[in-house]
Structure 1
Amino acid sequence: MALGSNMAGGFASSEALLEAALARFPEAELPVLARSGWWRSTAWPDPAAPEYRNGVALVEARQSPEAVLEALFSIERSFDRTRGARNAPRTLDLDLIAYGRRVIDAPEGAHGLRLPHPRAHDRRFVMGPLAEIAPDWVHPVLGRTAAELAAEATVGADAAPI
């Protein structure tokens, strides 16, 4: 799972909001097995927007990928996430990056579930934190490790650990 925020909402900081969101994962039957530290990056594609905080969590999921995605949407809503324009500032963004080695492309229905996440491999603010906790994770389509992808990612190239 990838977590991101650039609007703290009622929290003292985006990091505090992300910690609170991560604490909800076990309630959604997504126990956290490992997690990265928080990373910062300039907002993209509008660098004038507030800076982002991002991280990654490895969770144990026993339900279907569709059910996991629905649980993530529910957690987002509980933090006042509204879906509008793509890449707009947000209180909370939760993305399902991969589900084991499954490859799914369901653009119609199932909330357009695509696994692995179709853009995660090019986002340093996702691959960097993933490489922090699972550098040898292999992308199920590209056959490249998280560490390799983090080194080559072009979106959010300024992303760095806090």
Structure 2
Amino acid sequence: MKTQSETADSALDLDGAVIVALGCNDKGDWSSCAEALEAALARFRAEGVDVLARSSWWASQAWPDPGDPPFLNGVVIVSTTQDAPTLMRTLGRIEDLFGRVRTARNAPRTLDLDLIAYGRLSGDLDGLILPHPRAADRLFVMGPLAEIAPNWPHPVCGARAGDLALRAEVGDDARPVPKA
């Protein structure tokens, strides 16, 4: 698996990229959100999802309520034989294993896994909307994605991840967490 410093997006199939965003602002049973997110990534392989590239972790205030605990977010590009709806169910199962409880919309959560894009698929696939309809506006998604694939073209608008990160308005306080 390549890290952001080792990944050149030219080595990735950006048109076919399967992109997953991870987030946590309730550490649950883990010692930290970073530990929870690392454990979630470790679980991906057991679920038939291989991580090809990953961003650093990014910190930001909770949105839309900055009074909630801050978030830790990241993005991975994965490979899987699962189709998009099956992958979405797999991501939901991983969230459940990590104690995700769905209460109020945007409430604190132990693990949030969003399927951002599945290749060039676009539209409503029986309730699964691809690409993720709000990802392009979120710096805590586009910033990490721009680290590992700045030239990834959005399947609908065609804008590159690096440009979308510069224009993102939601979570504009998001910043990479310095390595210890």
- Unaligned 5+ segments in structure 1 are none
Q: Select which of 44, 51, 69 maps to 2:88.
A: 69
Q: Distance in 2 between matches of 1:104 and 1:66?
A: 13
Q: Distance in 1 between matches of 2:93 and 2:61?
A: 27
1:9 equivalent to 2:37? Answer no
1:85 CA displacement: 1.6
| Large movers: runs of 4+ above 2 Å | none
1:159 CA displacement: 0.2
Deviations 1:15-55 (A, max 9, x none): 10000001011111110000001000000110011000000
Q: 2:3 is matched with which residue?
A: none
Q: How many residues are treated as equivalent by the alignment?
A: 158
Deviations 1:117-139 (A, max 9, x none): 00000000000000000000000
1:133 equivalent to 2:152? Answer no
- Unaligned 5+ segments in structure 2 are 1-19
Q: Select which of 138, 154, 157 maps to 2:169.
A: 154
SS at match of 1:8: coil
Tell me which protein shows more strand as a share of its residues: 2
The alignment-based identity, stated in percent, is: 58
Q: Select which of 137, 155, 165 maps to 1:122.
A: 137
1:82 equivalent to 2:101? Answer yes
1:52 equivalent to 2:71? Answer yes
Q: Distance in 2 between matches of 1:53 and 1:124?
A: 12
SS at match of 1:32: strand
Q: Select which of 158, 165, 176 maps to 1:143.
A: 158
RMSD between aligned residues: 0.7
Q: Distance in 1 between matches of 2:44 and 2:76?
A: 10
Q: Distance in 2 between matches of 1:63 and 1:78?
A: 19
Of stretches 80-89 and 65-74 in structure 1, the one that deviates more from structure 2 is: 80-89
